[in-house]
Amino acid sequence: MEVKLHDIGEGMTEAEITCFLVKPGDFVQADDPLLEVQTDKMTAEIPSPMAGIIQEFKVKPGQTVPVGTTLVLLNNIDGAVDRISQKKSSKTAIIEKVPHDINDKNTPSKRILASPYTRKIAREKGINIEEVEGTGPSGRITDEDIFKLISVLQDTAIAPEINSAVTPTKTSYEKNTIPFRGRRKQIAKKMVRSMYTIPHCTHFEEVDVTSILQFCSELKKHNQNISMTAFFLKALSICLKEYPIFNAVLDEENEEIQLLDEHHIGIAVDMEEGLMVPVVKNVEKKSIRAIHSEMKQLTEKTLENKLALKDISDGTFTISNVGPLGGSFGATPIIQHPEVALVSFHKTKKMPVVTEDDQIIIRSIMNLSMSFDHRVADGATAVRFTNRFAALIQDPKMLLLEMV
């Protein structure tokens, strides 16, 4: 049987082969992972559609292949047993190939339970994951199990062998080049498509965040550690309700703009391989505390490469919070097609501000940039949108009045 690369979701067209999780000759059960692939949005395992024996891999790690490509040749149980019987006349020979009764429900599975991120750690550290004893549920191998084994090997002076095993051979990297594939390549394709399709226009604004910073500090005194970004998301949701044109999709074929009622806000997370955008669903229905909790969970899953397809799908609006990294004067963020707008929050600085009675006071000022699709909305609407957002953030009491 040919196991092919199928569309994991969201209309993917290709994926990069990351690694093999089994080898030719291995017996696998239905749904056991065969290999790991990297799409533009996530790392995923390709499972076996049935029980059988691995005959051959038709692809190589590092190769990028389109949907529909044959990945693995898999012998079903009956065919595999027949071929073994032909080569070895005795029933014992069959047992040597398949050491347990394949119909016995008590037969131990050869599947290694470990997340793609855990497998990646093992590969990078030169650890054979099959030799690791899992301490997680059902024997699942955890990140801690890998690091514990490394510590043991280091204590027994075996670590130098591991380090030498993973020493990279001479490759094109020594020529000051890096591979342009996988997630970075897919991000490039999406950015080009977005810039080619959407006429971007960017509006810049300054927002006084002094009061919201003080409010967050007061909450900490009551053991309520709520990030300022959670308040930003709730304020944006209120603004999107008042200006739904920025929570929309342009359907050029049917010549209509679809206004969306649900606010699924994506949060760009910086990763070494490129940005990932997990999505907080239905922000309009959630409390600020619930938004903060979901943001924290999604960020942790992102950093561990454990995002599922549902975590990155159906976004209607996106934010990018680059303030902690710097960026004082803003940028022109690229919109996530087919969304209509994206807001980027930049560095907050203390600055002198002149009040209405000509007094000079020190306030915390954050720069904000908002890119929007100029086919769908105009600059004046964007200014009203950011003014409304600034008013809600500058006075948290106004934000609380809008809560339902």
Distance of alpha carbon 130 from alpha carbon 111, whole angstroms? 10
User: Scanning the structure block, which residue is given the tokens 């399709």?
Assistant: 197
| Residue 181 near residue 156 (C-beta atoms within 8 A) | no
Rounded distance between C-alpha atoms, residue 358 and residue 380, angstroms: 28
**Ranges of H-type helices in 131-209:** 143-155, 159-165, 182-197
First to last CA, the chain: 56
Distance CA 211, CA 216 (A): 9
Residue 208 phi, psi (nearest 5): -80, 110
Task: Find tokens 């498509």 and name the residue.
Answer: 193
CA distance 218 to 174: 52
Query: Which three-class secondary structure state does DSSP give residue 296?
Result: helix
- Joined together, the tokens standing for residue 284 give 């309009």
Whether the bond between 338 and the residue before it is cis, its omega within 30 degrees of 0, is yes
Q: Is the dihedral of CA 293, 295, 296, 298 positive or negative?
A: positive
**Would strands 33-38 and 2-4 be described as parallel, antiparallel, or unpaired?**
unpaired
**Which residues participate in catalysis according to the annotation?**
374
Report whether 209 contacts 366 (CB < 8 A). yes
Rounded to an integer, what distance in angstroms lies between the CA atom of residue 387 and that of residue 393? 10
Instruction: Provide the β-strand partners of residue 36.
Output: 19, 45
User: 113-152: buried (b, 16+ CB within 10 Å) or exposed (e) per residue?
Assistant: ebbbebbbbbbebbbebeebebeeeeeebbbebbeebbee
